[in-house]
Structure 1
Amino acid sequence: MVKEAIATGATTEEAYEKACAMLGVDPADAEFEVLETEEKKRFGLFGGRPAKVRAFIRSTPADAAAEYLRNVLSGMGLGDVNIEIREEEAGAELVLTGENIGFIIGHRGETLDSLQYLASLVANHVDESYYRITLDVGNYREKRKETLENLGRKMAARAVKTGRNASLEPMNPYERRIIHTAVQEVEGAKSWSEGEDLARHVVIGPEGGERYVRRDNRRGGNNRGRNGGYNRDNRGGRAPRRDNRDSRPMQNRTAPAAPRVLDDVSTPYGKISKN
């Protein structure tokens, strides 16, 4: 994209300086084209004309994104932020430096990702072609990349060992690519993405799919006998049979005492003697 301004002046130099002022750039940073040269008046009275100059600057997608970010950050109270543009293949990295700007990273980089997305929209509006913009503050991107790589390898190794799938938290496309690349380094593991939009996340599992785990093989084991309970050796089988009227095993119960017989029993009809 090209920004330009046309100005006139008594001389070519004066017209050029005026045009650069209209663009808001230093004369050393702009290019120019002389449209008309100045002509002096004849006899100091007749004819003559001022010089006309066209000054212009070629704005790259990265320049447009950086200018947009300066305006946004200024509105956030960060007017002294320096933005360094590092050109890359099919894009550029914008490195932000300044005092007290760490808060624009946000929780797990969410604020930084949002600013990066908006800056990318501006950059791709310049030439109407794909141009990738990456924002970084305090080397956060590199640190985050190392964290995600370690996480991907760790979860992949666990998936191979346990034979179970594991789902990670939702991530943006850039971070998901980092996870996929790290998982490829672990033999026997694979990864894929599931979910839509903001809920899209990476799932890591064994290459052959999840393995069925028998209940008997779970931690702790199952030492009960075929019919449940425990036998006399406490090694499974049925538990000792108990009387419903007493919680003690039947073999441990004592015989009931014999009924007491009185020598003489009194009744309404008289006394009954034992003999």
Structure 2
Amino acid sequence: MKTLEFEGKSVEEAIENAIRELSVKKEDIEYEVLQQPSKGFLGFIGVKPAKIIISLKSKSNKAEGKEEAICSNAEKVKAIDYEVLAKKFLRDVLNNMNVMCEIHAEDKGDTLKVNLVGPDMGILIGRRGETLDALQYLLSLVVNKENKDDKYKRVVLDTENYRKKREETLIRLANKLASRVKKSGQSITLEPMNPYERRVIHSALQGNKLISTKSEGEEPFRKVVIELKK
């Protein structure tokens, strides 16, 4: 008899997830608990869901048809696995932060894009995106820990189109400071930035014939230096 594995915050929720996904009644299934749920460190880091194995009780023709449906649904569940994983992790984190919002996830190839939609998203962005970057980093750790393909899954977490707005702001800043360097002849060192923001600055000025850029220092205090080409 074919079996499938399902997860939930509790054993009961895992059973409900299985019933809903497979369109069966509770009395038609048997289950075995593989893992009891755990809240993890600080209530969200290292959270472990309840895991169960589901199988059908009957061997009738109807049951065999159900088993075929299980196989079909299994492929669908597998296809959205990263999306489900991301939503569950973020929902647990956001609940601990008392933040209510919608979580939209889209898994495309080697990139998982997640967008948070709700009121007062500034608390999730933080100062210059620090909170959003931290959440993205944690989500990336969780997703790639469960990655069964042994291929790195790039995670992009955004809200209120912050990433694009921040990129546009950095490009304007880079061009403004480059003009200042041209006029004064003096190099300018920017404040510490994360790798993504440093790449935006470098990229914005890489085609400038008079200006060059470089990064100096150690993480997390690494900075971009804008200077005249020598």
Identify whether the pair has TM-score above 0.5, normalized to the shorter chain.
yes
User: Which residue of structure 2 lines up, in the alignment, with residue 111 of structure 1?
Assistant: 131
Higher Rg of the two aligned structures? 1
User: Which residue of structure 2 lines up, in the alignment, with residue 12 of structure 1?
Assistant: none
| Kept after mapping to 2: 8 A contact 1:37/1:52 | no
Q: 2:15 aligns with which of 21, 24, 45?
A: 21
Query: 1:224-269 CA deviation, whole Å, 9 max, x = no partner?
Result: xxxxxxxxxxxxxxxxxxxxxxxxxxxxxxxxxxxxxxxxxxxxxx
Unaligned runs of 5+ residues in structure 1 are: 6-17, 41-48, 209-275
Does residue 186 of structure 2 align to residue 164 of structure 1?
A: yes
The offset of 1:137, in angstroms, is 1.2
Q: 1:70 aligns with which of 81, 87, 91?
A: 91
The offset of 1:22, in angstroms, is 4.8
Q: Provide the identity percentage.
A: 38
User: Which residue of structure 2 lines up, in the alignment, with residue 93 of structure 1?
Assistant: 113
Does residue 169 of structure 2 align to residue 152 of structure 1?
A: no
Distance 1:25 1:148, change over 3 A: farther
Distance 1:97 1:183, change over 3 A: same
User: Which residue of structure 2 lines up, in the alignment, with residue 123 of structure 1?
Assistant: 143
Distance 1:160 1:125, change over 3 A: same
The offset of 1:93, in angstroms, is 1.7
The offset of 1:86, in angstroms, is 3.2
Unaligned runs of 5+ residues in structure 2 are: 7-11, 25-53
Tell me the number of residue pairs that the alignment of Structure 1 and Structure 2 aligns. 183
User: Which residue of structure 2 lines up, in the alignment, with residue 102 of structure 1?
Assistant: 122
Q: What secondary structure sits across from 1:169 in the alignment?
A: coil
Tell me the distance in 2 between the aligned counterparts of 1:60 and 1:70: 15
Tell me the distance in 1 between the aligned counterparts of 2:117 and 2:172: 27
The normalised TM-score by structure 1 is 0.57
Tell me the distance in 2 between the aligned counterparts of 1:98 and 1:29: 32
Query: 1:171-221 CA deviation, whole Å, 9 max, x = no partner?
Result: 11111111111112422111111111110111111111xxxxxxxxxxxxx
Matches within 5 A, 1:1-275: 4-5=5-6, 21-23=15-17, 26-27=20-21, 37-39=58-60, 56=74, 57-58=77-78, 59-78=80-99, 80-88=100-108, 90-127=110-147, 128-208=150-230
| Kept after mapping to 1: 8 A contact 2:86/2:105 | no
Tell me the distance in 2 between the aligned counterparts of 1:29 and 1:83: 25
Higher relative contact order, structure no. (Cα contacts within 8 Å, ≥ 6 residues apart): 2
- Alignment root-mean-square deviation, CA: 3.4
The offset of 1:29, in angstroms, is 9.0
| Kept after mapping to 2: 8 A contact 1:191/1:202 | yes
The offset of 1:36, in angstroms, is 6.9
